Amino acid sequence: MIVGVPKETFPGERRVALIPASVPALTKAGFEVWVQAGAGLEAGFGDAEYQDKGAHIVSSREDVFQKADVILQVRTLGANPQQGMDDLQRMHEGQVIIGFMEPLTAVEPLQELARRNVQAFAMELIPRITRAQSMDALSSMATIAGYKAVLLAANHLPRMFPMMMTAAGTIVAARVFVVGAGVAGLQAIATARRLGAVVQAYDVRPAVKEQVMSLGAKFVELALETAEAEDKGGYAKAMDEEFYRKQREMMTRVVAESNVVITTAAVPGKKAPILITEEMVKGMQQGSVILDLAAERGGNCELTRPGEVVETHGVTIVGALNLPATIPYHASQMYSKNIQNFLLLMAKEGKLEINLEDEILRETLVTQHGRIVNARVKEIFGL
């Protein structure tokens, strides 16, 4: 069987789905690996490196899609709405497509994939179970995003992060407030602490308090009922507007005393909740920074403009998009390992065996036999 790795076409996407180091594991499992020429260049992986590891370099994108039994992508149709439609015409019946595809956001791209009768697996849907940790691409990319968010915030802040005792006087440490202590939030906390900031963090899930404190940050406790705030997969659940209103009221003081606020609160498949209002922004010190990691879902700050850096009421608000693509070497390294492990789960003597008794495969398979088959997707869109 042939595994194809095309060059990413989403604007600004610099990652590659498979790096050279992953090729030997796939060839050992009986696959041939075909890589489109230049697919890894922007991530720092040249064609010669792929060839040295046993991959075939193919100049034509059409050849990769037409000949490959399995296509590995970072962003397939759904996560690449415009250019992804061009690839749709290149796909063939029975082909396996693996990548990010935003399956909980829009149903039309999934219906298009079903019409092409391809078997599409969404990396976003990897279940958060112990056995699937090595395949959890969302967590891998959130680690990158949390790290880069702090660097961006530090770059925009007119202060330094660490406390310093100098001959010219004492420099007081910056105060950083991280909202949402999932994978991205915890990495942001760790990075801000390494840079010397005083860090506080809040999450609706009380269970993460211990993790926050283990990184040297203070956990902000708000007197809210949060027993139903976490789903069985460990993700935050959407709460009602009254809950978010009370949460905003209680957070106002913490936001006002912070130099940097990093928001990471996102609910899979839903618009991000508004946690930072314009009134809260007005209460912040001049020169403060809000780094909104939920910008792709509309943003946690009322004033966020996705993909833009704006200054309002003396506060810089960064609507960061696709941060993993800004560190493409290591983002590709992590994603490649995730997708390699996922593909090898199905590999049996050089062929694919899609065993739907396996929770990981069942939960990630979105289209098969010309229809949408994923239970979670069908429930969301009422199919």
Q: Identify the three-state secondary structure at position 120.
A: strand
- Of 22, 139, 258, 333, catalytic: 139
d(Cα 92, Cα 12) in Å, to the nearest integer?
Answer: 27
Q: What are phi and psi of 201, to 5 degrees?
A: -145, 155
Active-site residue identified among 22, 36, 116, 136: 136
Tell me if residue 133 is catalytic: yes
**Hey, CA dihedral for 366, 23, 37, 134, is it positive or negative?**
positive
Catalytic residue among 59, 60, 66, 133: 133
Q: How many helices (H) and strands (E) does the chain have?
A: 13, 19
- The yes-or-no answer on residue 139 being catalytic is yes
- Note if 335 is an active site residue: no
Q: Hey, what long-range contacts does 87-94 have (CB within 8 A, 24 or more apart)? A: 87/6, 87/9, 87/61, 88/112, 88/113, 88/116, 90/61, 90/62, 90/65, 90/66, 91/65, 91/116, 91/118, 92/65, 92/66, 92/116, 92/118, 93/117, 93/118, 94/69, 94/118, 94/119
Does residue 128 carry a catalytic annotation?
yes
Active-site residue, selected from the candidate residues 51, 134, 193, 235: 235
Of the residues 51, 69, 111, 128, which is catalytic? 128
Q: Which residues are catalytic?
A: 128, 133, 136, 139, 235
